[in-house]
């Protein structure tokens, strides 16, 4: 079997966009954090940390500041929870993931049974599931 490597290896558009958004919202005070690692790349997460963008696991881990939704997206409850806590929320969800989230919500709201094909524990799949009313 012949293996052909791509001429270019790197991050997809959604990840590049999320990193750009995170950098634009960096804070030397430690008040800017992504909710979970922004991408599955420990080196980039460390680099962003050195640039003023940390990582928290839960909205409750922040008392103030900016919480950045990672490229994988989150469910609607996170937006509500951040607002109740008075946090500034910046959405860096990949546009393709966001489209799937909104489609799942719309179909669910219209009475359709949503079927999601993917790894159940993967963050993108979880966020789409949450937008489907947790009934997919």
Q: In sequence order, which residues have a C-beta less than 8 Å from that of residue 106 and are 6 or more positions away? A: none
Indicate which residue of 60, 80, 124, 135 is catalytic: 124
Q: Where are the extended beta strands (E) located within the chain?
A: 32-35, 54-56, 66-69, 88-91
Q: Is 124 a catalytic residue?
A: yes
For β-strands 66-69 and 32-35, DSSP reports them as parallel
| Catalytic annotation, residues | 124
């Amino acid at each position: 079997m012949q293996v052909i490597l791509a001429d270019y290896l790197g991050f997809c558009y959604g990840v590049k966009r999320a990193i750009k958004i995170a950098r634009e919202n960096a804070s030397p005070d430690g008040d800017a954090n992504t909710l979970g690692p922004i991408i599955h790349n420990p080196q980039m997460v460390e680099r962003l940390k050195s640039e003023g963008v940390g990582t928290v696991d839960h909205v409750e881990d922040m008392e103030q500041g900016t919480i950045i939704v990672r490229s994988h997206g989150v469910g609607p409850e996170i937006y509500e929870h951040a607002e109740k806590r008075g946090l500034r929320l910046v959405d860096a969800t990949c546009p393709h993931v966001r489209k799937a989230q909104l489609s799942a919500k719309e179909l669910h709201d219209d009475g359709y049974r949503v079927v999601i094909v993917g790894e159940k524990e993967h963050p993108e799949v979880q966020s789409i599931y949450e937008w489907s009313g947790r009934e997919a």
